[in-house]
Amino acid sequence: MTNPDVGRIDGLTYPHGVAYMAGRFLPMSEARISVLDWGLLHSDVTYDTVHVWNGRFFRLDLHIQRFRRSLARLRLTVALDDEALGNILVECVRRSGLRNAYVEMLCTRGVSPTFSRDPREAINQFVAFAVPYGSVANARQLEEGLHVHLIDTVRRIPPESIDPQIKNYHWLDLVTAQFQGFDAGAETVVIADMDGHVAEGPGFNIFVVKAGALYTPERGVLHGITRQTVFDIARQEGIAVHAGAVSEAMLRGADEIFITSTAGGIMPVTRLNNGIVGPGVPGEITQRLLGIYWKWHDAPAYTLAVNYDKDAFA
């Protein structure tokens, strides 16, 4: 029997994913950018990620829309319309054979032919790839809940410096905080903004549940697609959602806490620093939202099915 999570290009097997660069598809292991690319030298790049679950893209249209907004804000150009862009992402997944995949589209500033410091002279580069799906939380953490550490000694880069609505690779604040969290015995971290309000974590938004309502930071954080999906589910279920400033006291006094990311969906938090969140198990509202979230992955209104025709690998 063939492995359903293995793809083929030119008769060879590539279980670790497929990339698209410079107009062609290639094994993920061969995907490279120049050391002179501004994306590497200056982190001058934007990206967006979407996941595929059971062979279906989830909310691909929203991810492409956000990618377009980020490109415009950074004055980057991808010479593909939305249909062509989507087709490339689908083809990466189809060629990989992955039924559960993490799919990324990115655009770097590129390389200047004269090594100029003028970003206008760089030739923008579009890259896409599909790799096996990975989650912020592992299976045990999804079942039992994550141990999150609130870090207040490292502050999130303010939006006046870097707009968090432009998805980017400026993660040194998050990585620095992450190491502090690991040192404290936590599994991941959330950091505060310059005003001391709760912001976000490495690749995820955070929600507080209190008295049956949801509270989540609004300013200085990425407005994630999974975050938006929680808003949509809550509206359907008649659950109040408040997007605004979230204080440390609100976080510590929460009935439930969960985090959201394309890489993992809705993930419960049951320990905060040295304390227990609520009863110490994933809460009722968190579980309710989580169940609906995964049901939506089968709904045609929110998904796009990949056609894994074996002839696509010929």
pLDDT at 312: 47
Tell me whether residue 124 is in a domain: yes
pLDDT at 14: 53
The answer on 164 and 47 residing in a single domain is no
Instruction: Dump pLDDT digits (tens) for 95-122.
Output: 999 999 999 999 999 999 999 999 999 9
The answer on 182 and 220 residing in a single domain is yes
pLDDT at 8: 52
Give me the domain span that covers residue 256: 139-298
Rounded mean pLDDT, 30-42:
95
Q: Are strands 213-216 and 241-243 parallel, antiparallel or unpaired?
A: parallel
- Judge whether residue 51 has pLDDT over 70: yes
Rounded mean pLDDT, 181-201:
96
Final residue before a domain boundary, out of 85, 102, 133: 133
The answer on 96 and 41 residing in a single domain is yes
The answer on 144 and 129 residing in a single domain is no
Domain count, the chain: 2
Tell me whether residue 308 is in a domain: no
Tell me whether residue 83 is in a domain: yes
- Judge whether residue 248 has pLDDT over 70: yes
Cα separation of 91 and 255, whole Å? 43
pLDDT band of residue 16 (cuts 50, 70, 90) is confident
pLDDT band of residue 310 (cuts 50, 70, 90) is low
- Judge whether residue 272 has pLDDT over 60: yes
Final residue before a domain boundary, out of 66, 98, 133: 133
- Rounded to 5 degrees, φ, ψ at 181 are -65, -40
Query: 258: which 2 tokens?
Result: 């969960």
User: Cβ atoms within 10 A of the Cβ of 46, count?
Assistant: 23
**Could you give the C-alpha distances from 276 to 208, 225, 270, in angstroms and in order?**
14, 28, 6
Q: Long-range CB contacts (< 8 A, 24+ apart) of 69-72?
A: 69/165, 69/166, 70/46, 70/165, 70/166, 70/167, 70/168, 71/46, 71/107
